[in-house]
Amino acid sequence: MKRLNSQLQQDGAPLELILLIRTILAGCKEISFRVSQGALAGVLGSTLSENVQGETQKKLDVISNQILKDTLRESGYVKAISSEEEDTVVPCNPDGNYLVSFDPLDGSSNTEINSLIGTIFSITHAPQWMKPDDPSAFLQPGTQMVAAGYVLYGPSTMLAMTTGRGTHLYTLDKTHGGFLVTDSNIKVPEDTAEFAINASNQRHWEEPIQQYVKDLIAGSEGPREKDYNMRWVAAMVGDIHRVLCRGGIFAYPFDKRNPKMPGKLRLLYEANPMAFLMEQAGGLADTGQGRIMEVMPEEIHQRVPTLLGSKNEVLACLSYYK
C-alpha cells in the first residue's frame, strides 16, 4: 500500500506542506491513543469550564486542543493557529508560512458512549505582512485552503484528506505508526437514499428545509417517489465519513432561534474543510444561499448553515430554496 508521503508527493504537495501535515498527524496519533485509553486514563467526562462557543468542555476537548497547540507551535512551519476551543488566535512562528485552523475533537459528547469522534483541520497560506496575533489573517474564503482533512477515531483510526488533487482515505497502521492509502480519489455517488439531520430541531428550521425533509420522510408515496433512510451519528466526522464512503446528504440548516447564530457549525473549523473534501470527491457543499467555500469569513468563530453530500441530492434540496 502507498504511504502518506508518496501520495502527497504524487499530488504535487510542496515539502514544507508535507512536513506540516505530518506534524498535525503526529498530534492526531497522540489524541487517538488518549481516546483509546478512555476511562482507564481518567480522560472522560466534562470540565467545569466553557469554551468561547458557550459549550461545556469535555476533558478530551482540552487535552486534544493542548496536544495540537503544542505540536504546531513547536513545528516552526506555522505562523498562527485558530482553534474552536480558543478565544482568539494563538501566535506561533512569526516567519511561519502557514495558518492552521482546527476542531480538536469533533463530537466529543460521544466520548461518554464510546462512539465516533474525530479531529478536523484546514491549512491556508499565512499573509506575510500580518502579525501572528492578528485574527484577520484567518478571514480567507475556503477557496484559499491548500489542504484539509479529518482524522476519525473509530474501530480503526482513519484520515480523509485533500490537497486539491482529489480526496483520499488513509488508515493508521499501528504496527509501524504510519498512515497508508486505503482508498484513493474517492467519488461520492451522485444519487442517494440516505440523509443525516438532527430532526429534533425541525420546528426551528426555515420552510424550505422543513418541506424538503417532509418529502423525504413521505418516501415512495411522496413527491420524491423514493424511500429514504435517516442516519445521525451526532458527530460531523462520522456523518461526513459515511457520506464520502457511500453517498448521502448531511444537513445542519439555518436555525431561527438565534439570528446572530444562523447555524451550529463553524465555518473555519468544520464547514470549510468538509466542503473541500466533499467537492474534491465530486459532491456539493452549500449554505442554502451559495457555495460554502466562497463565504467570506467575518470573524474566526463564524457559523454557517451547511448542506453537504451527493451532488444530485444537494441540488434537489437547494431547489426547495428557489
Query: Could you tell me which residues are annotated as the binding site for Mg(2+)?
Result: 84, 103, 105-106, 270
**For residue 157, what pLDDT is reported?**
97
**For residue 112, what pLDDT is reported?**
85
Measured at the CA of 98, the angle between CA 97 and CA 101, to 5 degrees, comes to 165
Mean pLDDT of the chain: 94
Q: Dihedral, CA atoms, 177, 5, 284, 267, nearest 10 degrees?
A: 70
Residue 135 and residue 300 in contact, taking contact as beta carbons nearer than 8 Å: yes
pLDDT tens sequence for the chain (322 residues): 899 999 999 999 999 999 999 999 999 999 999 999 888 777 676 765 666 665 667 889 999 999 999 999 999 999 999 999 999 999 999 999 999 999 999 998 888 888 999 999 999 999 989 999 999 999 999 999 999 999 999 999 999 999 999 999 999 999 989 999 999 999 999 999 999 999 999 999 999 999 999 999 999 999 999 999 999 999 999 999 999 999 999 999 998 888 777 788 999 999 999 999 999 999 999 999 999 999 999 999 999 999 999 999 999 999 999 8
Query: Could you tell me which residues are annotated as the binding site?
Result: 84, 103, 105-109, 198, 264, 270
Domains assigned to the chain: 4-183 (3.30.540.10), 194-321 (3.40.190.80)
**For residue 55, what pLDDT is reported?**
64
**For residue 117, what pLDDT is reported?**
96
**For residue 109, what pLDDT is reported?**
86
pTM, entire model: 0.95
Residues recorded for the chain: 322
The tens digit of pLDDT for each residue in 168-185 reads: 999 999 998 999 999 999
Query: Could you tell me which residues are annotated as the binding site for substrate?
Result: 106-109, 198, 264
